[in-house]
Structure 1
Amino acid sequence: MELKEAQKIVDHWIKEHGVRYFSELTNMAILTEEVGELARVIARQYGDQSVKEGEKMNLAEEMADVLWVLICLANQTGVDLTTAFQQSLMKKTNRDKYRHKNNPKLKR
């Protein structure tokens, strides 16, 4: 599935089940909350924190939640994520094609 298709699916779901999009500001707050939940799972699974009793650890679900809200924000603001991602990839390639290869900190 391309990002463009995901954007259409989310838009259809919102119109069919969600009544309307939350405001951009509300969705930004929700995105921040979802990123925090993702950070919590990563801190528990890959960091030094232990899992609390009864705490649910689902990395894929938290990543999907972040993606969902990001897609909502893109739809609301008219951003084509497929095009934006392609442009970001080109920018990073042009800027960083040698940067990381020449970083002694990344040498094994």
Structure 2
Amino acid sequence: MMTTENKPLSSVQEEVDTWIKEFGVRYFNELTNMAQLTEEVGEVARIIARRYGEQSEKDSDKSKDLGEELADVLFVVVCLANQTGVDLQSAWRARMDKKTSRDKDRHKNNEKLQ
């Protein structure tokens, strides 16, 4: 049996679609989801800036879970993919293949990373 941790992206897309149909009534439109994605990314940025950056972390931010916020970003990305007909598994594979062929030596040869 496949667990959530090792599901292919196509299964994640199906899980989100099922959840939307059962509990979410329908997808928000694409523009609303884009605004929602921006909001969620902002929440991730706030945690990173305060927890790992130079800004001090407010008491109200200390209980925020970075993993949960990243999962919120992923959820909205999956919603956008579903409603626009993007197969994330295929897109991911194509992106990783392209990055691998294009960048296979780039980072190894970057003196800044040595």
TM-score (norm 1): 0.96
- Coordinate RMSD, CA, aligned: 0.8
Match of 1:98 in 2: 105
Match of 1:41 in 2: 47
Percent identity at matched positions? Answer: 64
Deviation of 1:50 (Å): 1.4
Match of 2:66 in 1: 59
Deviation of 1:70 (Å): 0.1
Which residues of structure 2 form unaligned runs of 5+? 1-6
Identify the range of structure 1 (94-103 vs 46-55) with the bigger mean alpha-carbon deviation.
46-55
1:88 aligns with 2:95: yes
Secondary structure at 2:70 match in 1: helix
**Matched letter for residue 43 of structure 1:** A
How many residues were matched structurally?
107
Match of 1:7 in 2: 13
Deviation of 1:100 (Å): 0.7
Q: Distance in 2 between matches of 1:72 and 1:8?
A: 10
Q: Deviations over 1:24-46 (max 9, x none)?
A: 01101100110010010111111
**Matched letter for residue 11 of structure 2:** E
Could you list the runs of 4 or more consecutive aligned residues of structure 1 that deviate by over 2 angstroms after TM superposition? 53-57
Which residues of structure 1 form unaligned runs of 5+? none
Secondary structure at 2:60 match in 1: coil
TM-score (norm 2): 0.91
